[in-house]
């Protein structure tokens, strides 16, 4: 399979639906919003965005199944599955706040082979395919070259309905705030990962993420020279709900601080 050509088609699908979303920004009425859980919102626009993406992606790779946030399509493929977030950052979208994004990953068996993250408001499309360099609007991107946490700018996301790890999370944030250039919180994990991939951020961490939040970003970061793991340095990051991404150069130093607050994870592996 030509993964690069396939990814170009995925990027086109993302930008087409993204252009439609851009036109709706700031125009969401309350009657279009429903609640999936405390501080967990979905709009009719999320569902329509997902349906549009599923239609286009089904044309690109008909045999693939779907793991999609809003569940408008649930069939699974034998070898290939798209992992989709039709609007990553729905709360931002509802309020007309930057950023929100579309995130699309393609998993072949258990390996990510294509990833696209599109920011409709700024027209930035981050993408990568198996065996190729990560790109931003046709230009190669790389993770940052910083080698120490003291030089790093970090990103994270705040828990909104799972507070089971809130105490160690807050403790880790306090320590990391005091020894870095600072911490940012955009409200779209997919965009955070894209920013790590292109060197705007040096690291990102968050818990209780879902596969559609990170699937595309994992490949884009790896193909840009970075590293991803769970909080304990392991490989259970796609479905395990703890996620770390770094430029690779500060991975050990970063994980050491997380392990101090969250434990090593040995007891759970």
pLDDT band at 158 (very low <50, low <70, confident <90, very high): confident
Neighbours of 35 (CB within 10 A): 9
pLDDT of residue 210: 94
Residues sharing a CB contact under 8 Å with residue 260, sequence separation 6 or more, in sequence order: 172, 175
**Residue 29: pLDDT band with limits 50, 70, 90:** low
* pLDDT of 78: 95
For the cut 80, the answer to whether the pLDDT of residue 30 exceeds it is no
Name the residues annotated as catalytic: 69, 85, 87-88, 90, 213
CA dist list (Å): 182 to 75, 189, 210, 244, 259: 42, 17, 25, 17, 20
Q: Report the length, in residues, of the chain.
A: 269
What is the token pair recorded at 66?
Answer: 């779907």
Predicted local distance difference test score (pLDDT) of residue 28: 67
User: Please, which residues bridge with residue 42 across strands?
Assistant: 34
Average pLDDT over residues 159-179: 89
Helix (H) or strand (E) holding 157: none
pLDDT at 32: 54
Q: What one-character-per-residue DSSP string does 248-265 give?
A: STTHHHHHHHHHHHH--S
Domains in the chain: ranges and CATH: 3-140 (3.30.540.10), 149-263 (3.40.190.80)
More confident residue, 35 or 50: 50
Higher pLDDT, 96 or 194: 194
The contacts of residue 55 (CB under 8 Å, 6+ apart) are none
DSSP string of 26-63, one letter each residue: T---GGGEEEEETTEEEEHHHHHHHHHHHHHHHHH-TT
What is the model's pLDDT at position 269?
38
Spatial distance between the Cα atoms of 209 and 189, rounded to a whole number of angstroms: 8
pLDDT on residue 243 = 96
Measure the CA–CA gap between 168 and 208, rounded to whole angstroms: 14
Tens-place pLDDT, residues 37-51: 444 445 788 889 999
Computed over every residue of the chain, the mean pLDDT equals 91
The percentage of residues in the chain with a pLDDT greater than 70, rounded to a whole number, is 92
Q: What is the mean pLDDT of residues 63-74?
A: 91
Provide mean pLDDT across the span 193-214: 96
Q: What is the pLDDT of residue 90?
A: 87
pLDDT at position 5 over 70: yes
Is the per-residue pLDDT at 135 higher than 80? yes
What does the alpha-carbon distance between residue 77 and residue 71 come to, in Å, rounded to a whole number?
15
- The CA–CA distances, whole Å, from 220 to 128, 194, 212 equal 5, 7, 14
Q: What is the pLDDT of residues 73-131, one digit of tens each?
A: 889 999 999 999 999 998 888 888 889 999 999 999 999 999 999 999 999 999 999 99
* Rounded Cα distance, 106 and 129, in Å: 9
Nearest by Cα to 242 from 222, 220, 264:
264
Q: What is the mean pLDDT of residues 238-245?
A: 93
């Amino acid at each position: 399979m030509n993964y690069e050509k396939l990814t170009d088609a995925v990027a086109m699908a993302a930008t087409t639906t993204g252009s439609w979303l851009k036109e709706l920004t700031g125009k969401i009425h309350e009657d279009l919003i429903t609640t999936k859980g405390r501080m967990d919102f979905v709009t009719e626009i999320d569902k329509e965005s997902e349906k549009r993406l599923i239609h286009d992606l089904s044309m690109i790779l008909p045999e693939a199944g779907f793991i999609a946030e809003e569940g408008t399509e649930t069939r699974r493929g034998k070898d290939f599955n798209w992992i989709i977030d039709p609007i990553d950052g729905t709360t931002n979208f509802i309020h007309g706040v930057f950023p929100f994004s579309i995130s699309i990953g393609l998993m072949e068996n258990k390996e990510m082979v294509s990833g696209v993250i599109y920011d409709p408001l700024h027209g930035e499309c981050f993408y990568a395919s198996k065996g190729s360099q990560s790109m931003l609007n046709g230009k190669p991107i790389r993770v940052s070259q910083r080698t120490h946490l003291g030089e790093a700018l970090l990103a994270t996301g705040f828990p909104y309905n799972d507070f089971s790890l809130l105490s160690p999370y807050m403790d880790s944030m306090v320590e990391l705030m005091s020894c870095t250039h600072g911490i940012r919180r955009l409200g779209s994990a997919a965009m955070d990962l894209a920013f790590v991939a292109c060197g705007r951020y040096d690291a990102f961490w968050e818990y209780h993420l879902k596969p559609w939040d990170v699937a595309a970003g994992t490949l884009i970061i790896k193909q840009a020279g970075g590293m991803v793991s769970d909080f304990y340095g392991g490989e259970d990051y796609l479905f395990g709900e703890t996620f770390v991404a770094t430029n690779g150069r500060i991975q050990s130093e970063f994980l050491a601080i997380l392990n101090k607050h969250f434990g090593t994870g040995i007891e759970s592996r």
